[in-house]
Amino acid sequence: MSRESIVFLFGILLLLMPHLGVPDGWKQIFYTVAGAVLMVAGYSLRRSAFLRRIQQLDGELKADSFAEHDASTTEVGSDKNIDNVEEEK
């Protein structure tokens, strides 16, 4: 069963549940399970739509990023840095 069908089926069941004469305890359990299933299916649909949009825009799915290292040899917060700055002024 596709994710779209699951969302549609649970929507119909949620619409009809108050009118079916189901005991309140069962309704509570069903509403909780239906909510969890709809959250997972909705997240999955949203994620697949997002990835499909990235592919259509020729984007990259991998996030290989890096930052270049500053070539300075002094350590951050060392006393030498502070002394050198004060002497230059």
pLDDT tens digits, one per residue of 13-29: 999 998 999 899 999 99
Query: What are the residue ranges spanned by the domains of the chain?
Result: 3-56
Angle, vertex CA 49, rays to CA 47 and CA 50, nearest 5: 65
Which token pair is 21?
Answer: 């004469």
CB 37 within 8 A of CB 10: yes
Average pLDDT over residues 34-63: 83
Average pLDDT over residues 50-71: 71
Q: Report, as an integer, the average pLDDT of 52-72.
A: 69
pLDDT higher than 90, residue 31? yes
Query: What pTM was estimated for this model as a whole?
Result: 0.56
> Which residue's entry shows tokens 């509403």?
31
